[in-house]
Amino acid sequence: MIIITGAAGFIGSSLISKLNNKGFKDLILVDDFSNAEKNKNLQNKAFTEKFDRGLFLEKLEKGMDNIDFVFHIGARTDTAEFDKAVFDKLNLNYSKAIWKSCSEFKIPLIYASSAATYGMGEHGFVDDEKIIPQLKPLNPYGESKNEFDKWVLQQNNCPPYWAGFKFFNVYGPNEYHKNRMASVVYHCFKQIQESGKMKLFRSHHPDFKDGEQLRDFIYVKDLVSVLFHFMLHGSKNGIYNLGTGKARSFKDLAENCFKVMGKEEKIHFIDTPIDIRDKYQYFTEAKMDKLRKAGYTKDFYSLEAGIKDYVGEYLMYDKYY
């Protein structure tokens, strides 16, 4: 039996699809299932049981029979939320409780960290665990993820196998419910659909032209493929980057959306808001050597191929994965 927290969310539900497609259907889903829009992600998926995230901790701490693996994907991911107490409860302390139970009952664990832990990238984007205590995230969300990573590295009592993955800029199907927190690809599609154009931030950095700010965009199908691989073949405990290792520009992203939608390209540049301008990242790119050395050898979707699949096969038809 496999447990997935954050099961109704974007990445959690995509992971369920991956597991189902590989024949794994004895799944326990954990989330706050009160959002009807979010629950659409679970349509036509096979699973055994659902638990509210609050009740689940009580059950796990008492011991659950026949649990083979835990994917802890659930988290509060709102980067515009600045109430630290929210993140302490839902991200940091909840994750600690899952870790402790997995350690006590000898259950392998994979958990979601985040590239938000890297802050402005002052120390680069290398998944060297020695630099984790030095990282300076830009918001409470990133801080909560980094605090858990730091805590994990201090533990002597651990699950029999564990790995944390720093997700970079994930996009793909099943993010309809995320609204403003959805990926840039999703927002690009919606803007083009509604107005025929796409707005991008103007560059306020002399080394970057407008729209040529760079991000490491990873397609969710690649992300869950990595998680599935490490469930089956994970050997070395640790914290890993999970991007593509290839930064691409927002302009590239927008141009590909127009192309797949068969629309004339109309990109408008607007000033980056003053209140976020000093914390705006112009470059993120995951160093992927550690993941590759750990045994994951498959190619990742290019930005072009990912957008073609996501926009052309899902967004244009309101389909779910």
pLDDT of res. 8 = 97
Q: Whole-structure pTM over 0.75, yes or no?
A: yes
To the query of whether residue 136 is one of the catalytic residues in this protein, the response is: no
Q: Out of 150, 178, 190, 308, which one is annotated catalytic? A: 178
Q: What does residue 213 show for φ and ψ, rounded to 5 degrees?
A: -60, 145
Cα–Cα dist 227/32, whole Å: 22
CB distance 112 to 165 below 8 Å: yes
Sign of CA dihedral 164, 135, 172, 81: positive
How far apart, in whole angstroms, are the C-alpha atoms of residue 236 and residue 163?
8
Q: Which of 94, 141, 171, 296 is catalytic?
A: 141
| Spatial contact of 71 and 15, defined as CB atoms under 8 Å apart | yes
Under 8 Å between Cβ of 218 and 300: yes
Residue 246's nearest CA partner among 125, 112, 116 is 125
Check if 178 is active-site.
Answer: yes
Q: What is the pLDDT along the chain (321 residues), one digit of tens a residue?
A: 999 999 999 999 999 999 999 999 999 999 999 999 999 999 999 999 999 998 999 989 888 889 999 999 998 776 666 677 888 788 899 999 999 999 999 999 999 999 999 999 999 999 999 999 999 999 999 999 999 999 999 999 999 999 999 999 999 999 999 999 999 999 999 999 999 999 999 999 999 999 999 999 999 999 999 999 999 998 799 999 999 999 999 999 999 999 999 999 999 999 999 988 888 899 999 999 999 999 999 999 999 999 999 999 999 999 999
Tell me whether strands 27-31 and 49-52 are parallel, antiparallel or unpaired.
Answer: parallel
CA angle (209, 215, 220) in 5-degree steps: 145
The per-residue pLDDT for 77 is 72
